[in-house]
Structure 1
Amino acid sequence: MKNIKILSLLFLTVLLLNACKKDKTEEPVPTGPSTTVVTNISGMVMDTWGYPIQGVTVTCGTQTRTTDYNGTYSFLGLTVPKDRCILKFEKASYYTVSRAVMPKSGSYTQTEITLIPYSWTNSSSASFASSSAYTMYLGSTGCEIDFPANAWINEGSGLTYSGDVTVYAAFLDPTDMNYGKYAPGGLMIGKTTATDEVMIQPYTGLIVEVFGTSGEKLNLDPNAKANATVRFQIPTNMQANAPADIELWDFDMTAGVAGAGGSAAKQGDKYVGEVIHFSSWTCENICTGLPAIINGKVTDGTNPIAGVPMVVGSSIVYTDINGNFSQKVPAGINVPVGIKPGYLGNTQNPLFIGPLTNEEVYQIPSDFVLTTISYITGQLVNCTGTPVQGNVIFNSYSQMSSSPTDATGHFSIPVSTSMMYGYLIAHGNTTTTEQYINIMSLPYDAGQITLCPPIPTGPNQITFNGTLYNSFTENSSEVYMGNMTSIYLYDPITYDHIQLQLNGITTGTYTIDTANVYVNGTVGGSTSGTHFESAAGGTITVTKFNPVGGLIEGTFTAVCRLTGYSYTGKFSVVRGQDIRK
């Protein structure tokens, strides 16, 4: 059995480089038949500081979702290719990321994505005239890009572009243990020009996005035949063993893996190559032989822990309900394996495993152990109380963690022992629900969480000072403190929102008193919109008040105590899980 040692990052990074060779005669990675499976994909999107990002557009095939204010999303009952499915994550002021995941048939596939903001430490921006050649220096990262003159097109229309050009570019450093959270692809697999799929190892990379004066996406004009020259900085710990020549790769949205797109030559501490378009480009070496498999387990010292994000090479994988994880890796190299840095306060150094032989299956002999944690437990059931399977996410805004359920709907989410409150977001039974919890003590039992299939709602609207607003597409409601009802209507595009509160849980008319009964919010956009608060004397009329999973509907009439404007509206929302105090 191979010895596993916890070594210094400097020494291990050097070890990581020794076995990948530039050789296109290696055996291809075998792939399965191109069939489909039905799966459920549930996940979180966070920024580089670990906070959830709301309003991210997530695309899988022809279907689209938008992350909620907990940064979560789900695709339920989704038919995808058996081998891998491709997710695309987009939001203004963040770099777009595409990620391939291996779907679990009939089960839940967990994901965790980090979107890099344009303001990130390793990100830079520049503006110049399209008629001029320009060299962009990426701050202290050491990367440089030479842009050609008169070589731009509007990516959407394909028409030649003339005007100012704005570029955002970020350095992707594979020695960063968080690389697998934000790098494109995620599977350590590439497709060569000969269509063979191979295992690859990253050395450096850039992600680049280009815009015109009206915010339109730009790219290099293929008809101009003027490529851009990119000088990629090689991380210090990788320079000594970096090969003289290396392949350039971008992400192939069709194949779901990195696609070979040229080569770069080592010049000093940089790789220099030419690119024909801009997206993400990485310098990665092809690893010879067939892939090996690394298996491992995470426990709290006694019990297995589900849903733990594990860094394996440049990929992120999750432990299953039994605390186990498994990942294909290139043979012949040393692979870092460890709990994701910062997860529930984790500061453990990674193990470096290998080199492994072709098709070797290696079981890590010692479990990874997370200490000073506790659990939030519960069970998912449908409207009739029958257990259902799913995935449950806990968000405290300072920490996020998740866990799949077992076959009986039970879940056990690991949390730090300092947790006091947060949201539980449950995905299952073709629907999603959330509830706010106050954690008086740990471990915390959330009880049964009811997941009822979605039912039609609407309309949800407000007419404020004569103007109608009716784009409230993300809406929720819950009963708390036993007899208080909260209703929230939200427009994720404009950020308009309405908050209604009632001091009751039945149908009837409630008189607004500004303390226990009110209709407050903002309309007209987040920057130039109008904030309103209801004056005493208006009414909220509830015409339907059903149990959890059913509808709460009604109307309201009020006058804004700030402006004197009158407003009326309608609400129709699904009653969410009651908040337990």
Structure 2
Amino acid sequence: MRRKFHSLTFVFMALLMMLMTFASCSKIQDLLNEGDDDDDDDGGINPPELVEGRMEDIALSGIVRDASGTPIEGVSIVSGSSAATTNTDGFFEFDQIQVVSVLNDRSVVRFSKAGYFDVVRSMDADDDAADGASWEVVMCKKENNDFTSIKTYSSSSDQTLQAGEMKIDMPQDGYKVDGTGLSYTGKVKSEMVYLDPNNERFSEMMPGGDLAAVRSDNSSAQLVSYGMTDLNMYAENGDKLQLKDGCKAKLTFPIPAGMGENPPASIPLWSFNEKTGLWEEEGSAALQGNVYVGEVAHFSWVNLDYPEKQGTVYGYVKDDTGKVLPGVRLSIGQLLAPTVTNSDGYYSHEVPANTAFSITVKAQYYGGISQMAFVNVAALSPGESRRVDITLSHMVRVYGRVMNEKEEGIRSTVWVQTDKDKSELCQTDKEGNFNVYVPKDMKGNATVCARTFRGEEVSKEITIHNEDVPVDLIIGNAGGGSSANMIYIFSEILDDAVWPIPTYTSMKSGVIIVDDTLSLMPDEDAAIGLNIAIPHYEREKNTYQDGVLVYAENLGTRHRFVTAPGKKMKCTVQRNGGNFVFSLEGYGSYVNDSTEEGDENAKLIGKDMSYPLLAAFKSLRNIKPVDAGFPSFTPQLEAKAPFAVLITESGKVGKGGIVFYNGGSSDYQTLKNAAAKQGFTNLGEDNDEKEGTMAVFFYSAKKKALISLEYNPKASGITGKTCWTNAEEQAPIYMMVLDGVTEDMLEKMFEDDADDTRSTRVTARRHLNPISKCKFDGFKKKKMFKKLARLR
């Protein structure tokens, strides 16, 4: 049984293969449908039905900013099995996003970054598909300001938390650990945010985006918000807290400015379902003087909203000379309306009826004008369509298209700059079209710049006077251009070759960093695979020549290329957010497996090959796992773990890693019992009485958490010389812990059942040790294998 794999750099592959040992896809689905046996039963309320999600080919891009409008780099964005990280422009893009089957299908995307409140954005998937959606997202910092509040206090006293004019009264001794249901006493750290509908960035900040809702009778509704709040609470050790069963918090909502005329006696309260992207009715708040007061027994985003039917507003946007204005982004009422005028300056959007609203053009989307331009619109009747035309002051428009060499449109950010000024960033649409309205004082010589999500850039010089300026930008290496993600192999013995390398996007492929070693792992089923290993990797360093290992394989032609001893391979690697762009140039051995012919002096050139980060890890010694940053549900012994590898960054899962213990079977049982007591579902066990080996897997759908344990009595034990390359073989107890493992991810891991465990492991080892598959004579295969093993 032990040890499945000999490389922590391939921990996610190990996870996949080990899970296959115990269950089939159908068994996993059965276990997920059973739910968890947690002590926390949510007060007897039945959990919501499992929402079916699917991945669809919908193009989505966007820019993530903070409340001041500054783009945020390094935001982790996840939608089903797709993941991305914003680049220096706060820009991201997806080709596939998750769609859930509720209210005519909805897209669901989560945005996360340390130090900011998470945002889950959801919109009508049909609109996203039709428009090739371009989103604007604002994330709120966790700090004390006029709409967020951070506070630490004792659980043993009543507390009033306040952000802006919004108040939350917390009960004395009213806390439990989320997930376990255990009562909590001690220090509580609270993180509160309140969004006033009059906040300029309300629509970009709020979860969801279109205020679509489901009433308690399951009918759909369109909401008008009187304000919304979110509260995160944490224990001293970082555990997430919730209100204890039977306890409630009192919410006091102010009546927003402009909404106080004839306020209703009560307004429904709604909570946001992050799986469906919908607001769900959960009670009401009563008018008490000039505030609304209600209670909640569980914290998520809470919204004070009045449901309304819908009408439609439409019209044309022109400047004061009568010229139509295409590409102007409109904010319509409270909705995050992805409404951008078309080439005729036309727009149309559904709005809540019976509610007055405004249509706003924000400065950042129209020339940086000194203040927002807006039109107040009187309430529409249900079903009414009303034309509202908008007139703006004249601005020069710089417009055109960003393309590759094949004239295919490319999604990117675009801006115009001079020596003294720079326009706001704008996004292209799915066809690469852009419209930048430049500030009035931007005249004379200027530069139009475009940058893709992967970091390719292009610019062109222009002159700005009083007329619109058309300009097309061509990025040669972007979006499938002639040399992007291509490998060229030159040989005097075999035919030259050109291989298109796919951008690997599966859950078990991408860039992995362990301490100072970087590896690229391809999709297991990719027709063309590329492995790269870089020892002594440094984030600030871009060029490497010593010790770079490259293995490329074309299954279709049965050709392979591998770096050879004494042959130099130069590798440049640039990081753009969660993506890594590699270029290669060097010599190695090139083999035709069909004829066993080989060239020991072939040259390989690879240009602008982009791959996502799978995970980064760091080694730790003599630690208590939870204290060292492992998830709060991590089982641990009284004795410190002599060695561990912690996930420090990942585009696929949350916190976690691998913990290695010295110990016996009783210690293994202690860890196993600790996991079981938390209500995790046992996915299966693999015990060998003859060998004395044991293994078990636990999963919690509620916590999105996975724990695997293995025990091998014959392991030699962790020593001071142990490192990540040999820890798996030496540790008697091996424990993998991961959070952020969604049900969809778990099911995907079980897509392909293994007919035979041993053959599965052999196949995996061959995949992880590609040098062993080379069949050419005369090459120093043995030394190559040892060199690669040392890197791992």
Using structure 1 for the length normalisation, give the TM-score.
Answer: 0.68
Whole-angstrom distance in 1 between the partners of 2:448 and 2:520: 24
Q: Identify the residue that residue 516 of structure 1 maps to in structure 2.
A: none
Q: What residue is the counterpart of 1:239 in the other structure?
A: 260
What corresponds to 1:88 in structure 2? 110
**Higher deviation after alignment, 417-426 or 249-258:** 417-426
User: Which residue does 2:194 correspond to in 1?
Assistant: 171
In the alignment, structure 1 residue 132 sits paired with structure 2 residue 157: yes
CA distance in 2, matches of 1:272, 1:438: 57
Q: How far 1:360 sits from its partner (Å)? A: 1.9
CA distance in 2, matches of 1:543, 1:98: 38
Secondary structure of the 1:441 match is: strand
1:94-130 per-position Cα deviation (integer Å, ceiling 9, x unaligned): 1112221223336511110111112343211211122
Does the Cα contact within 8 Å between 1:38 and 1:106 map onto a contact in 2?
Answer: no
Q: Quick one: structure 1 residues 80 and 255, their matched pair in 2 at CA, closer, same or farther if it must change by over 3 Å? A: closer
Q: For residue 354 of structure 1, what is the aligned residue in structure 2? A: 378
SS in structure 1 of the partner of residue 203 of structure 2? helix
Between 1:444-453 and 1:64-73, the stretch displaced more is: 444-453
Distance in 2 (alpha carbons) for counterparts of 1:91 and 1:216: 18
Q: Give the 5 Å matches for 1:422-571.
A: 424-426=450-452, 434-435=456-457, 437=459, 441-442=463-464, 443=469, 445-449=471-475, 450-452=478-480, 455=501, 468-470=516-518, 496-500=539-543, 542=570, 552-554=583-585
CA distance in 1, matches of 2:134, 2:212: 19
> Are 2:315 and 1:296 aligned?
yes
Tell me, yes or no, if the aligned pair for 2:132 and 2:429 is still in contact at 8 Å.
yes
CA contact (8 A) 2:231 2:299 kept: yes
Q: Give the secondary structure class of the aligned counterpart of 2:121.
A: strand
Equivalent position SS for 1:350: strand
What corresponds to 1:55 in structure 2? Answer: 74
Alignment match of 1:268 (pick from 275, 279, 289): 289
CA 1:299–1:552: 2 relative to 1, 3 Å: farther
Aligned AA (1:451): G
- Find the aligned partners of 1:206 and 1:543 in 2 and give their Cα distance: 49
- Alignment correspondent of 2:212: 189
Q: CA 1:229–1:496 in 2, change beyond 3 Å: closer, same or farther?
A: farther
Identity of aligned residues (%): 22
CA offset digits 1:119-151 (Å, max 9, x no partner): 34321121112233222233xx23221112333
Contact 2:267 2:306 in 1 (8 A): yes
Matches within 5 A, 1:141-160: 141-155=164-178, 157-160=180-183
* Native 8 Å contact 1:313 1:329 kept in 2: no
Q: What SS class does the counterpart of residue 198 from structure 2 fall into?
A: coil
C-alpha contact (below 8 Å) 1:130/1:162 kept by paired residues? yes
Deviations 1:453-510 (A, max 9, x none): 75358998999xxx7242799xxxxxxxxxxxxxxxxxxxx99433459xxxxxxx99
Structure 2 equivalent of residue 74 of structure 1: 93
> Which has a greater percent of strand?
1
Match of 1:41 among 40, 60, 72: 60
2:608 corresponds, among 549, 571, 574, to 574
* Residues 312 and 327, structure 1, Cα contact 8 Å, conserved in 2: no
Residue type at the aligned position of 1:270: V
Q: Corresponding residue for 1:482? A: none
Looking at structure 2, the residues matched to 45 and 363 of structure 1 have their Cα atoms a distance apart, in angstroms, of 32
CA contact (8 A) 1:457 1:572 kept: no
- What does residue 520 of structure 1 align with? none
Q: Which range is displaced more, 439-448 or 98-107?
A: 439-448
What pairs with 1:212-251 in structure 2 (closer than 5 Å)? 212-221=235-244, 224-251=245-272
Q: In the aligned structure 1, how far is the partner of 2:316 from the partner of 2:201?
A: 20
Q: Distance in 1 between matches of 2:252 and 2:161?
A: 10
The CA deviation at 1:162 is 3.3
1:260-279 alpha-carbon deviations (Å, 9 max, x no partner) = 11111122222111112222
**Cα distance in structure 2, aligned partners of 1:129 and 1:367:** 53
Larger radius of gyration: 2
Tell me which amino acid in the other structure corresponds to 1:186: G
2:301 equivalent among 280, 287, 305 = 280
Unaligned ranges ≥5, structure 1: 1-33, 474-493, 502-508, 511-539, 556-570, 577-581
- How far residue 246 of structure 1 moved from its aligned partner, in angstroms, is 0.9
Q: CA deviation at 1:573?
A: 6.2
CA contact (8 A) 1:203 1:283 kept: yes
State the shift of 1:49 in Å: 0.7
Q: Using a 3 Å threshold, how does the CA distance of structure 1 residues 208 and 398 change in structure 2: closer, same or farther? A: farther
Matches of 2:256 and 2:153, distance apart in 1: 28
Aligned with 2:69: secondary structure?
coil
For 2:447 and 2:179, the matched residues in 1 are separated by: 45
Of 325, 339, 345, the residue aligned with 2:347 is 325
CA distance in 1, matches of 2:283, 2:152: 27
- Matched ranges for 1:202-217 at <5 A: 202-217=225-240
Q: Deviations over 1:176-201 (max 9, x none)?
A: 34211112222132211111111221
Paired residue total: 454
Secondary structure, counterpart of 1:174 in structure 2: coil
Q: In structure 2, what is the Cα distance between the partners aligned to 1:204 and 1:319?
A: 26
Contact 1:174/1:203, CA 8 A, preserved across alignment: yes
SS of 2:105's equivalent in the other structure is: coil
Q: Does 1:123 align with 2:148?
A: yes
Give the letter aligned to residue 552 of structure 1: S
The residue aligned with 1:17 is: none
* CA–CA separation in structure 2 for the residues paired with 1:251 and 1:495: 41
1:392 aligns with 2:412: yes
SS in 1 for 2:258: helix
The answer to whether 1:305 aligns with 2:339 is no
Tell me, what secondary structure is at the counterpart of 2:298? coil
CA distance in 1, matches of 2:569, 2:240: 48
Query: How far off is 1:40 after superposition?
Result: 0.8
> Would you say the 8 A contact 1:110–1:318 is kept in 2?
no
Aligned-pair Cα RMSD in Å: 4.0
Alignment check: 8 A CA contact 1:101 1:187 kept:
yes
- Distance, in Å, in 2 between the alignment partners of 1:543 and 1:342 is 40
CA distance 1:92–1:309, change in 2 (3 Å): farther
Counterpart of 1:388 in structure 2: which amino acid?
Answer: E
Change (3 A) 1:227 1:395: farther
**Take 2:142 and 2:503, find their aligned partners in 1: how far apart are those partners?**
37
Q: Is the 8 A contact 1:203 1:235 kept in 2?
A: yes
Cα deviation 1:531-572 (Å, max 9, x = unaligned)? xxxxxxxxx964799xxx9962159xxxxxxxxxxxxxxx97
Alignment counterpart, residue 429 of structure 2, candidates 382, 389, 404:
404
Measured in 2, the distance between the counterparts of 1:158 and 1:572 equals: 54
AA at the equivalent of 2:583: I
The answer to whether the 8 Å contact 1:377/1:413 transfers is no
1:125/1:304 Cα in 2 relative to 1: closer, same or farther (>3 Å)? same
Q: Letter of the aligned partner of 1:219 in structure 2?
A: Q
Which whole-Å CA distance do the structure 2 matches of 1:361 and 1:176 have between them? Answer: 27
Aligned residue number for residue 529 of structure 2: none
2:82–2:96: 8 Å Cα contact kept in structure 1? no
8 Å CA contact 1:317, 1:327 repeated in 2: no
